[in-house]
Amino acid sequence: MNQKVYIGKNAIDEWLSNMQTISPKHCFVVRGHRSFEACGGQEVIEQLQKITNSQITEFEDFSVNPKYKEAQVGLEKLLQSNADMIVAIGGGSVLDMAKLIRHLAAEQGHMIPLHAFPTTAGTGAEATHFAVVYIDGEKQSIAADDVLPDVAVVYPPFTYSNSIYQTACAGFDAVAQAIESYWAKGATTESREYSIRALELLWKQLPQLVQAPTEELRDQVAEGAYWAGRAINISTTTAPHAFSYAFTSHYNYPHGHAVALTFPFFVKLNGKKDLYELLGLSSIGIIPQIEAYIEALGLSLVLDSSVDVYGTLQEVNLLRLANNPVEVTQKIVSDLEQYLKRI
């Protein structure tokens, strides 16, 4: 993985120091809406402009769940600006949009450096070579080497203003990524090392952060989310992510919450003694233990009566499902349906 990374409370200063050397002439800034100013992103761009005298073009006209047509609009605006650098500051959707725009530009022969600043601790999008996009209402994932940001700047204070629910959703996504990467068919020695490193920063800290937030805990979770991203960049995700997409598409569950819905079921299906020991769990009654962990984050596992469980499970992402260590048969899907209806 060829990526420059800055992590920690000095990450912005280190990045700005490097920008003095690079001295971009025109930056295309892909950003969130209110969160961009609330987290301090606006101030960082102003500092960049001050030290490099670069021009700035901003792009924020896209949905929370980024659409392919919106990325095409962003591409047009990027090419019109003649920018020589893309800077993305935001949550997973913002980073995915920037990655998609850069990918589309690269396909047209314009390989423009991309620097990614996550403002949530969870998706790991700053560290992966794939991006989520909605095409004709269907959630899909695009993977390519040029999707991976050239630079990742993990500055934990950007996450300090996140709400508790946002913290829980994003944080659980990172936990799930680390665990799924650990058991994935595509796992390697390197990816498992990243998984373990992530879980050491996430598993115990996330419930503590949700229940009694501190800067120290936010710092650890932000770094842990990055390492979880590094892990799935190698292994990719598995069944919980494969089944999560339709819950988001049709019922607006935030991604991390959608992943949580099926996660206890798959920990029992996929988990082994070494994983349980790593998490400090007993193999006896594993489902209630995972349910209790998720509920301690404030994420309800009870589905609304309006959810078409059977129909939703049929819209599984087959690519992610194929990476599951246990073959997910129709019998297992039926068992999963009964599990979701029972809780």
- Residues 216-248 have pLDDT tens digits of 999 999 999 999 999 999 999 999 999 999 999
Please state the rounded mean pLDDT for residues 258-269: 98
Of 198, 204, 232, the closest CA to residue 92 belongs to 232
Residue 328 sits at φ, ψ, to 5 deg, of -90, 100
Specify whether the CB–CB gap between 121 and 82 falls below 8 A.
no
pLDDT tens digits, one per residue of 57-103: 999 999 988 999 999 999 999 999 999 999 999 999 999 999 999 99
The CATH number of 4-159 is which of 3.20.20.140, 2.40.290.10, 3.90.226.10, 3.40.50.1970?
3.40.50.1970
Phi-psi group of 272: left, alpha or beta (phi > 0 → left; psi -120 to 50 → alpha; rest → beta): beta
pTM here is 0.95
Fold equal for 4-159 and 164-342: no
pLDDT tens digits, one per residue of 10-68: 999 999 999 999 999 999 999 998 889 889 999 999 999 999 999 999 999 999 889 99
When mean pLDDT is compared across 3-17, 134-148, 263-277, the lowest value belongs to: 134-148
CATH class of 164-342: mainly alpha
DSSP bridge partners of 300: none
Specify whether the CB–CB gap between 193 and 284 falls below 8 A.
no
Of 71, 170, 67, 50, the closest CA to residue 118 belongs to 170
Specify whether the CB–CB gap between 264 and 211 falls below 8 A.
no
pLDDT value at residue 247: 95
Q: Structural domain boundaries of the chain?
A: 4-159, 164-342
- Given a cut of 80, whether residue 271 has pLDDT beyond it is yes
Measured CA to CA, the distance from residue 112 to residue 114 in angstroms comes to: 6
Of 162, 146, 143, 184, the closest CA to residue 266 belongs to 184
Amino acid symbol at 328:
V
